Amino acid sequence: MVKKGEHSLDMRSLVIKLREEGLSMGKIAERIKLKKSSVQYIIEKYRKTKTVKNQRRKGRKRLTTPNDDRTIVRLFKTDRRKSAPKAAAELGEHHGILVSPQTIRRRLHEQGFHGRTARKKPFISDVNKKKRIKWARDHLQKDLEFWKRVIWSDESKFNFFAPDGNMKVWRKKGEALKKECLRPTVKHGGGNVMVWGCFSWFGVGPLVFIDELMCKEDYLNILKQNVKQAAREMQIWDQFIFQQDNDPKHTAKIVKKWFLDNNICRLDWVAQSPDLNPIEHLWSDIERRLNGRSPRNKTELKELLREAWFSTDLNFIHKLINSMPNRCRRVIHYKGGPTEY
């Protein structure tokens, strides 16, 4: 490719041809209407390179050595959440490597690392990983008729103004679920509306707003006022299985007694397993449908939540329930660790 300001390949070839025919530089310049200095430059360059084509130009000298590159990668493998500016300062102070944040980003990209939003997943203990594998294996072969009988329940928080802030991490493709690349989930905070809800294959149940800090007695009242009603409306009253997680309020003695007294079968559950509960995806769908809405107060937010909850598409619910066998398979695949669910 000829760059702007350069003579064409044909012109350079003609200069060399005339020179090889014995013409002087002055005669060549006169014949083809070029400056003598240009003719001289073309001939001299040809003498050195043996070609009239442009040679591949050397790029800018690389600012880091292979050892520097390894140090940069090692720094981010140690702390996936480190920012490039902070890393640049640390590299200069402790390693004598003077590079810009942009150079650091380029080196990370070269090694397959990219800045991504950390997925929110609970950090799962080794004990619970084993329990999750056992649960998944025990339920892997359950058929759709079994899952249709389950009423899934949970509490959730919906922020009043905006979603919780995202956290960036540096990771490679396929590393999204590595422990060091995750953002641990936290318990519910302020500035939000708390709800309790339940659903099954047959649709959503009641949506209950929790205006104060919930204790075991409050939770028991929610169950008393809503679970049987939901089962009747779903027409699975005589055969339903109730799911709840292992929150201390859910496993309190008075709650266990109520289930026993009312002959309600519970789905055994394992701690740190929101990815096995499809209601988590229902909450996410509700939040997605609220994006762009601007409630002016909690009353309006509650109304938007009711509207979204009770307009949930039944096909979407069926998709969630149908995912249970695959959820079990993924838990086994990840050896009890967090899954993409």
* pLDDT of 183: 61
Q: Is the pLDDT of residue 226 over 90?
A: yes
How much is the average pLDDT of 253-273?
Answer: 96
For the segment(s) 126-333, the CATH number from 1.10.3720.10, 3.40.250.10, 3.30.420.10, 3.20.20.70 is 3.30.420.10
Q: Cα–Cα distances in Å, from 259 out to 149, 201, 224? A: 16, 21, 10
Kindly state the percentage of the chain with pLDDT values over 70: 89
Higher model confidence: residue 255 or residue 75?
255
Report DSSP letters for 159-185, one per residue: ESSSPPPP-EEEE-TT-TTSGGGEE--
| Residue 187: pLDDT band with limits 50, 70, 90 | very low
Q: What is the CA radius of gyration of the chain?
A: 34
How much is the average pLDDT of 182-196?
Answer: 64
Nearest of 132, 151, 73 to residue 107 by alpha carbon: 73
- Say if CB 135 and CB 329 are below 8 A apart: no
| Residue 190: pLDDT band with limits 50, 70, 90 | very low
Tell me the domain boundaries of the chain. 9-49, 66-111, 126-333
**Per mean pLDDT, which range of 17-31, 171-185, 188-202 is the poorest?**
171-185
Report DSSP letters for 77-137, one per residue: HH-TT--HHHHHHHIIIII-----HHHHHHHHHHTT-EEEEPEE-PPPPHHHHHHHHHHHH
* pLDDT of 118: 62
Domain 66-111 in CATH 3.40.50: no
* pLDDT of 59: 66
How much is the average pLDDT of 191-206?
Answer: 94
* pLDDT of 197: 98
Q: Is the pLDDT of residue 17 over 50?
A: yes
| Residue 85: pLDDT band with limits 50, 70, 90 | confident
Q: Is the pLDDT of residue 52 over 90?
A: no
Q: Is the pLDDT of residue 3 over 70?
A: no
Q: Per DSSP, what are the bridge partners of residue 154?
A: 197
Q: Is the pLDDT of residue 189 over 80?
A: no
pTM (2 d.p.): 0.62
How much is the average pLDDT of 81-105?
Answer: 87
How much is the average pLDDT of 190-211?
Answer: 92
SS3 content of the chain, % helix, strand, coil (to 5): 50, 15, 40
| Residue 164: pLDDT band with limits 50, 70, 90 | very low
User: pLDDT of 299-312, one tens digit each?
Assistant: 999 999 999 999 99
